[in-house]
Chains A and B, each alone.
Chain A
Amino acid sequence: MTADYITICLADDDEDDRLFFTDAFDELRINTRVKTFKDGVELMNYLNHADSILPNVLFLDLNMPKKNGVECLLEIKKNVKFNDIAIAIYSTSSTEEHIEETFVNGANIYIKKPNDFENLKKILSEVVTINWQYHTSGLNKDNFLMRM
């Protein structure tokens, strides 16, 4: 890591989930800067703004009002400016269709929201510390879905 801290973004319409997310990073003591957005439109506005600091890892909830996770994913993948952002899908569901669709459209990892806070912390710390270049080059459908 060249920067002193890792920039992390989360787009999730659920307030509680945003709270768990930020709390987990607070407790993890990794040097991170976490920014949350309550829907896809808000996220894309931020990313497209010239002054914005682009995140290292972006967590995308799938089911969001206005602009959902898949739409955001497609938009980001279309723009070369966002090539360096690692995208983690962060969703309650883990249906085959969703996994397949996001994998095909270029997401880097799929995380099913855990139902235990300690588990959440474990997953997030792992995701943030993944060597993305290494992970992406060996990416396949089997290791796409993160298992704990």
Chain B
Amino acid sequence: MEIMQLHKSPLFLKIIFIVSLAIIFFIGAITFKHITVLKKTSTWISKSYEVNIELERLLSHVKDAETGQRGYLLSKNKSFLKPYDDSNEEIKKSYKRVAELTVNSRAQQRNLKKLQYLISRHLNYLSKTLYLVESKGYNEKIVSTNLVTGKEAMDSIRVEIEEMITTQKNLLQYRQNDYNSTMNYTPLLIYLTLLITLILITIAFIKMNRDVVLLKNTVHTLSVAIEVNNLSEIIGNFGSWQLNLETGTYTFSDNQYRLLGCEPQSFEACAHEYLKFIHPDDLEILTEKTQNIKSHNILPPFTYRIIRENGEVRYLKSMGQIVTISSDNKTFIGTTRDITSEIDDQILTEERNRELESNNKELSAFNYIASHDLQEPLRKIETFISRLVSKDFNNISASGQQYVGSIQKSTNRMRVLIEDLLQFSRTNKTEKNVVNADLNYLLENAKHDLAQAIEEKKAIIQSNNLPTLHIIPFQIQQLFINIIGNSLKYSKKDVAPIIKLTYSQIVSNEEEFLPNTHHCYHKIAIEDNGIGFEQEYAKNIFVLFNRLHNKNEYQGTGIGLAICKKIVENHKGFITAKGNLGVGSQFNIYLPVE
């Protein structure tokens, strides 16, 4: 895995570069060494040849001396002695030269000494023979012996010189071999190292090429991302900025300029220019917020105002953060959003809310007065009439008595209306005491409230086990009272009412009239065997003051079921009604499962 990673890292290229460099240095060093060896060898070769020449020359000088001596001996002509005399000097010169050339070879030095001895011996013989001949009455025999000895000496010189030349040749051969052995593997080594370098460079090239392609793709992706960002900045009404903390240079995005009401990049991005736009009252908060950045590494969101060139005031919200992109290059990045419309909306909403609140207060005060304060004079009228009836009824004429009865009926109806209205307005109230309450208990309370009517009608109320729900208890109790009361009221005259309450849990999309969501609901169905109603009126019966029957047939204010609807809505539930004229009606209450 690490190796796989290695060839992707820039380190790989560095390693290749260093290795290649080392190889080139190595090749250079080897080449230098070989050239030096070559130079030495060639010096050696020329030296050897010189030694050979000089030795030949030495031999020829010795020969010259002998030839001269012989010529003189034969002719007695003094002119033959000239080369003999000169050769002595020449031999010395040549000898010296050979000694200089072979100073590094001990074997040759040894040979040379031997040669020197042989030459001087030979020369001695030559001079001795000459001397014997020049002296009067020389012995022919001695001269002849001397000549023979001289010839032997000359032969040994020849042999010696021959040997020296051979030694020199051997030395040269040895050098040559040495040089050859060094040179033999050098081309292969250079070739191999060059090959390796070539491979490495090729790999590096491939890698670099791949990197370039990758870089191109990345640059492409990046420029697309930048364009997308520019677009989203425009639609999102925000801009962005950067501050390189090392160099102190700022960059503003195009939309950052637009937020200020300027053309993109129309002025140099810097703090000084930006501060010119800030509302004077907000300069303090801006400097205060930006002061803490370096210690906290973060600029928490805050809102300030700017003034555009045309004098328009806009609300901006900024936040930022210091990020470390490469090892020690810290950049302070941030975004700014124009929240003017949000703030305007907020102000508008607040205003509307206040208006609504005061309207609501007025309305509930009106409701309270209408229902509560109206009860007071009504109660007095009723009380006075009850007194009139109990005290002076018999003193009133028959028609007067009838009028009193009508007044009683009307006031009674008015009282019911006012009480229902009061209840309706109280159901409206938002103070909700939502607690867990047992529906069975609430149903019992409702039955208790309706005890008189139940007894009168001999009604039977059945219920299976109802659950305990999270509700506003007194409202649900009222709901039961109103619906059961409704069933009792609209019962058939000759049939004892049977009212059935059943509980189940349902999913909303399986149920008629409910939204097509998948929420769970508690369903309480209340079914009766009363007079029922036509299904087309099912929705109307929940509308305030809406009645299906004439008030002379059935008493009612048309508020009861409206209250039921309100109660169910207070619980975020639904209520539906199903009617079957002459058979009965069913009310379904749906309360959401928490």
Contacts and interface: CB of A to CB of B under 8 A. Distances in A.
A16 B380 contact: yes
A89 interface: no
Contact of A116 (B372, B386, B474): B386
Interface string B359-402: 00000000000001001101110110011001000000000000
Contacts of A16: 380, 383
Contact of B372 (A14, A93, A96, A120): A93
B70 interface: no
B383 A20 contact: yes
A118 B379 contact: no
A95 B367 CA distance: 13
Contacts of A118: 386, 390
Interface string A95-135: 11000000000000000011111111000000000000000
Most buried by A among B379, B390, B415, B474: B379
B415 A115 contact: yes
A92 interface: yes
Interface in B323-379: 372, 375-376, 378-379
Contacts of B375: 92-93
Interface in A10-56: 14, 16-17, 20, 23
A23 B474 CA distance: 37
Interface string B482-497: 0000000000000000
A119 B372 CA distance: 20
Contacts of A117: 383, 386-387, 390
A116 B380 CA distance: 9
Contacts of A115: 378-379, 382-383, 386, 415
B426 interface: yes
A92 B386 contact: no
Interface size class of B (residues with CB under 8 A): 10 to 19
A146 to B, nearest CB: 15
Contacts of B415: 115
B535 to A, nearest CB: 37
B376 A120 contact: no
A43 to B, nearest CB: 20
Interface size classification for chain A: 10 to 19
Contacts of A17: 380
Contacts of A114: 379, 383
A54 B39 CA distance: 146
A93 B418 CA distance: 12
Given A92-B375, A93-B372, A115-B415, A120 B383 contact: yes
Contacts of A14: 376
Contacts of B387: 23, 117
Contacts of B376: 14, 92
B426 A116 contact: no
A146 B18 CA distance: 105
B420 to A, nearest CB: 14
B149 to A, nearest CB: 165
Interface string B439-477: 000000000000000000000000000000000001000
A118 B382 CA distance: 11
Nearest to B382: A115
B382 A92 contact: no
Contacts of A120: 383
Nearest to A93: B372
Given A113-B379, A115-B378, A117-B383, A95 B390 contact: no
Contacts of A23: 387
Interface string B260-271: 000000000000
A118 B474 CA distance: 30
A95 B382 CA distance: 21
Nearest to B419: A94
Contacts of B383: 16, 20, 114-117, 120
Nearest to B383: A117
A113 B372 CA distance: 12
B366 to A, nearest CB: 16
A96 B386 CA distance: 28
Contacts of A116: 382-383, 386
Nearest to B445: A142
B196 to A, nearest CB: 98
A50 to B, nearest CB: 36
B422 to A, nearest CB: 8
Q: Determine which residue in A23, A115, A118 has the highest number of CB atoms from chain B within 10 A of its CB, and name it.
A: A115
A92 B379 contact: yes
A20 B415 CA distance: 19
Nearest to B426: A95
A38 B436 CA distance: 45
A118 B384 CA distance: 11
A131 B372 CA distance: 32
A55 to B, nearest CB: 24
A16 to B, nearest CB: 5
A120 B375 CA distance: 16
A96 B383 CA distance: 24
Contacts of B386: 115-119
Contacts of B390: 117-118
Nearest to B380: A16
Nearest to A97: B431
A96 B474 CA distance: 10
A114 B376 CA distance: 10
A120 B383 CA distance: 9
Interface of B: 372, 375-376, 378-380, 382-383, 386-387, 390, 415, 426, 474
Given A92-B379, A117-B387, 14 more contacts: A14-B376, A16-B380, A17-B380, A23-B387, A92-B376, A93-B375, A95-B426, A96-B474, A115-B378, A116-B382, A116-B386, A117-B383, A118-B390, A119-B386
By Cβ-Cβ distance, the 7 closest A-B pairs, closest first, are: A115-B382, A115-B379, A117-B386, A116-B386, A117-B387, A92-B376, A117-B383
28 contacts: A14-B376, A16-B380, A16-B383, A17-B380, A23-B387, A92-B372, A92-B375, A92-B376, A92-B379, A93-B372, A93-B375, A95-B372, A95-B426, A96-B474, A113-B379, A114-B383, A115-B379, A115-B382, A115-B383, A115-B415, A116-B382, A116-B383, A117-B383, A117-B387, A117-B390, A118-B386, A119-B386, A120-B383
